Structure 1
Amino acid sequence: MLSMDAFSLYIMFCVLAPLLGAFTLLFLFIFEKRIDLLEKQTREIALQRELQTALYNQLNQEIQPHFLFNTLNSILSLARLERKTELIRSIEALSRLLKFKYQTNSPFITINDELTYIKYYLEIQKIRFRDRLHYEIAMDPSVGQAVIIPFLIQTFVENAFKHSFEKYAGEAFLKIIVEKKEKYVHVTVWNSSSEKHEDQPHKGGLGLENIAKRLELLFSPEHTSIQLTSLNDKTNVLAVFPYVNKNENQGDKRL
């Protein structure tokens, strides 16, 4: 015969057991839904990342013909002027540039690589403009292996020739500054112009829009910026983006 305490425990167990079972089933149901939601979010993030990678690669492909056409136009100018010796040197420089460029298909490169492109390009322009062109490259050695989108600095340099040096006579001055400030890389390109400007910001053309979009895709919008300003006879363009060492992010296609 059950004692009163045992009987009370039995009644309590009979009452609580279904409740515990119901709570267990509810917990399992919520947990399963949570897992499904996380899996869905993971798939959506993966899909979004694939789309961003595809868009980034598309933007990279768009900017490359622009660079090539500008370089070929510079060489064509030498051909029209029948400057044969300089033309041959320019073609050799272009050949080295293209050979270097197609050694890698990475969606991003190092600043050292980007400056290598620019030196080849400036070599061609120096042949074309002769003593009229003066340029300087100043780089903080600590940012040489930092990640940068292809043709970022190159586009800034091309704009200097397209919008200033090719339009206005006189001395052409170009300066490229690459430095690290705290956790960010600052890339500054300024050029002289015979046209006077008031101090004002500019939106820039399609090339700068392409750069802004690619920077946002490679890093994130809140950590990147592009500023283009003109003051008196100088135009200044500044790009800011996070410092990321390529050797520390070998496997990342998007940082």
Structure 2
Amino acid sequence: MLTLDAFSIYIMLCILAPLLGAFTLLFLIIFEKRIDLLEKQTREIALERELQTALYNQLNQEIQPHFFFNTLNSILSLARLDRKTELINSIETLSKLLKYKYQKNESIITIEEELIYSGYYLEIQKVRFRDRLKFHISIEPNVKHAVMIPFMIQTFVENAFKHSFEKIPGEAILKIDIVQKNQNVLVSVWNNSTNLAQQFQSNEGGLGLGNIEKRLKLLFPNEHTAIQLSNTGDGTTVTAIFPFKTLEET
């Protein structure tokens, strides 16, 4: 025969058991929904990354025909002037450039690699402009292995020729300076013409800078990046600012 205390405990268990079961079931339902939500968010993040990567690669491909067209134009001008020796040298340099391009077909490259690539273009232009062209490249050793988007320096250099040196007679001076400032890399390309900024403010030169801005934001999301144009009176400077990161950190 049950005592009063045992009977009370029995009654209490009969009351609490369904409540505990209900709370457990409710917890499992909430937990399952939370898991489903996290899985959905993970899928959405993965999809967003895939879309961002696709867009980034598309922007990289978009700027390449623009560059090759202008390079071929430079070589064509040598052919029209019947400068055969320089023409041969330029074609050889273009061959090196194309070989390097297809050996280094990455979506992210180091600053050192970008300078090699841009150097081939400058070699072609040096043949074309002869003594009229003078250029200088300065880079701090510690930033050589920092990563960047492809064709950025190349685009800055190319626009200096397209919008300034090809349109304005006289000495053509180009300076490339790359330094580290705090946790950022500053890439500056200066030329001795004030015409470049005017061209970029119009629709004629918008593709290059707009493309670079988009790619920088895609490569370094949620971090500070910027493109700055400045006219110093003795020339025009285009500066790109982006985080200092190595391949291991990306």
TM-score range, shorter chain: over 0.9
Following TM superposition, by how much is the alpha carbon of 1:125 offset from its aligned partner in structure 2, in angstroms? Answer: 0.6
Aligned residues of 1:185 and 1:242 also touching (Cα < 8 A): yes
Structure 2 residue matching 1:229: 3-state secondary structure:
strand
Q: What is residue 187 of structure 1 aligned with on the other side?
A: 187
2:161 alignment counterpart: 161
2:129 maps to: 129
Q: Distance in 1 between matches of 2:222 and 2:36?
A: 30
Contact 1:169 1:194 in 2 (8 A): no
Quote the offset at 1:104 in angstroms.
Answer: 2.6
CA contact (8 A) 1:196 1:232 kept: no
Q: How far apart, CA to CA, are the structure 2 residues paired with 1:122 and 1:212?
A: 23
Letter of the 2:212 counterpart: I
CA separation in 2, counterparts of 1:12 and 1:18?
11
Q: Distance in 2 between matches of 1:29 and 1:197?
A: 61
Deviation for aligned residue 1:224: 1.1
1:27 is aligned to 27
Q: Is the 8 A contact 2:185 2:241 kept in 1?
A: yes
Residues 113 and 6 from structure 1, CA distance in 2 versus in 1: closer, same or farther, beyond 3 angstroms? same
Q: Is 1:85 the equivalent of 2:88?
A: no
Deviation at 1:6, TM superposition (A): 2.2
Question: What SS class does the counterpart of residue 169 from structure 2 fall into?
Answer: coil
1:52-72, Cα deviation, whole Å (9 max, x unpaired): 111111111111111111111
In the comparison of the two structures, how many residue pairs are matched? 247
Give the letter aligned to residue 88 of structure 1. Answer: I
CA RMSD of aligned residues (A): 1.9
Counterpart CA distance in 2 for 1:228 and 1:194 is 11
- Check the 8 A contact 1:197/1:232 in 2, yes or no: no
Give structure 2 stretches of 5+ with no counterpart.
Answer: none
- Letter of the structure 2 residue corresponding to residue 165 of structure 1: F
SS in 2 for 1:126: helix
| Partner residue, 2:111 | 111
Structure with the largest fraction of helix: 2
**Aligned twin of 1:58:** 58
Cα–Cα, structure 1 residues 38 and 209, in superposed 2: closer, same or farther, change >3 Å? same
Is 1:140 aligned to residue 148 of structure 2?
no
Residues 175, 65 of structure 1: CA spacing in aligned structure 2 closer, same or farther, 3 A cutoff? same
How much has 1:229 moved relative to structure 2?
A: 2.0
Residue of structure 1 equivalent to 2:229: 228
Which stretches in structure 1 are left out of the alignment for 5+ residues? 250-254
Q: 1:53 to 1:117 in 2, by over 3 A?
A: same
Deviation at 1:219, TM superposition (A): 1.2
Q: Does structure 1 conserve the Cα–Cα contact (< 8 Å) formed by 2:149 and 2:216?
A: yes
Matched residue, 1:252 = none
1:222 CA displacement: 4.1
Q: Cα offset for 1:196?
A: 10
